[in-house]
Amino acid sequence: MTLPVLFRSHGGENQKGRPDWFSKLVCLLSAVRAAEAADTELVFVNNGPIPEPRLEVMRRAGGEIVDLPNLGIRQSYLAALELATSGRWDDDQVVWFSEDDYLYQPDSFRRLQDAVPALPDAQYFGLYGSNPENPHPRPEPLPHRPRGWQDLGPREVDGHSWVRLYSTTATFGGRVGPLREDLPIFRFATVPHKNMFRDHDTCLMYQGFETYSYGRIARDALGLHPGTPKERLREVVMSPFYLATNLRSHRRASRRRLLVSAEPSLATHVELGYIAPGTDWAATAAETMAWAEDRDLLAHDLPA
């Protein structure tokens, strides 16, 4: 079954810490490379003007280009979800959503395509994510283990392990039918912020697990968060949302979803502190650029 890949791009940059080998161009090329190694349908969802070198890669790679007006991050994310659930693809079809700052291994989409029919009880898929044994390498305290959580042993598909996840990011795959039913959860998780999504909350809510301990919610509501005054105020304001998130996670057993991901990761978020361990991603980036040169995907007559 063909894998639709909705690659979301934004023309601008942000202030996230990046390794010196990062560029949105190399991330785009890595997705195109992975797509060519699998049976995929590429759709480039562009939020506002995209720099011409990246736009030229999209043209040379083929696929459909969907131009959105210059929307906010939240609106463009929801627009991609609505496109996927608009009836264009069958309910059992998995659609892959990609942000523009992820680097892919060349076999990532092929392995995902193999996993989808082999794991029919899974509704959501990741190529990168956080689980109890291998949480994201990040400075914040680890999330609490949700009440009722059960670890599932690794499941092998064509020599690669797939494990149950706490959460992944806005770069993920989902079966269209469950995704359509879960759209209210995805929308709910975008409410508190203008320029971010609460990915971890989203993933635990659709799986039917409470994200926050009630002790933490009570502490934060009382202004006892162990941070700066500004952070304490933020947590006071956010504590009703944390409570609502927990309540929103209460679902019938038939509506609880399963999220699985490749282990080790077959893609990575390219932000310092969040890069998936165990892979030489700098080498992957260099190999991707060499592949693109061989395929004449780079427009050398355009300014970088």
Task: Identify the CATH number of the domain in which residue 72 sits.
Answer: 3.90.550.10
Q: What is the pLDDT of residue 197?
A: 83
Least confident of 59-68, 105-114, 127-136: 127-136
Please indicate, yes or no, if residue 304 is contained in any of the structural domains: no
Query: Which carries the bigger pLDDT value, residue 73 or residue 304?
Result: 73
Q: What is the pLDDT of residue 303?
A: 52
Number of alpha carbons in the 13 Å side-chain half-sphere of residue 242: 17
pLDDT at 183 over 60: yes
Please indicate, yes or no, if residue 225 is contained in any of the structural domains: no
| C-alpha–C-alpha distance, residues 96 and 43, integer Å | 10
| C-alpha–C-alpha distance, residues 99 and 271, integer Å | 12
- Angle formed by the axes of helices 199-207 and 176-189, nearest 10°: 130
Q: What is the pLDDT of residue 31?
A: 98
Please indicate, yes or no, if residue 113 is contained in any of the structural domains: yes
| Average pLDDT value over all residues in the chain | 91
Compute the residue count for the chain: 304
Per the structure block, which two tokens stand in for 5? 């890949």
Q: Is the torsion defined by CA of 112, 117, 119, 125 positive or negative?
A: positive
Please indicate, yes or no, if residue 220 is contained in any of the structural domains: no
Convert the pLDDT of each residue in 196-209 to its tens digit: 789 999 999 999 99
The answer, yes or no, to whether the previous bond of 132 is cis (omega within 30 of 0) is no
CA nearest 178: which of 250, 85, 284?
85
Please indicate, yes or no, if residue 238 is contained in any of the structural domains: no
> To the nearest 10°, the Cα dihedral for 185, 187, 190, 192?
-80
Q: Helix-strand-coil percent breakdown of the chain, rounded to 5? A: 40, 20, 45
Q: What is the pLDDT of residue 106?
A: 98
Query: Which carries the bigger pLDDT value, residue 71 or residue 156?
Result: 156
Task: Report, as an integer, the average pLDDT of 207-214.
Answer: 94
> Residue 235 CA to chain centroid, in angstroms?
25
Q: What is the pLDDT of residue 147?
A: 86
Please indicate, yes or no, if residue 251 is contained in any of the structural domains: no
| C-alpha–C-alpha distance, residues 7 and 265, integer Å | 19
Which amino acid is present at 178?
P
Please indicate, yes or no, if residue 249 is contained in any of the structural domains: no
- The tally of domains found in the chain comes to 1
pLDDT at 136 over 70: no
| C-alpha–C-alpha distance, residues 179 and 85, integer Å | 7
pLDDT interval class at 221 (50, 70, 90): very high
Domain that holds residue 283: 3-185+257-294
SS3 call for 270: coil
Residue 276 DSSP symbol: P
pLDDT at 137 over 70: no
Task: Report, as an integer, the average pLDDT of 93-100.
Answer: 97
Convert the pLDDT of each residue in 142-163 to its tens digit: 567 888 888 888 999 999 999 9
State the first-to-last Cα distance of the chain, in angstroms, to the nearest integer: 37
Please indicate, yes or no, if residue 160 is contained in any of the structural domains: yes
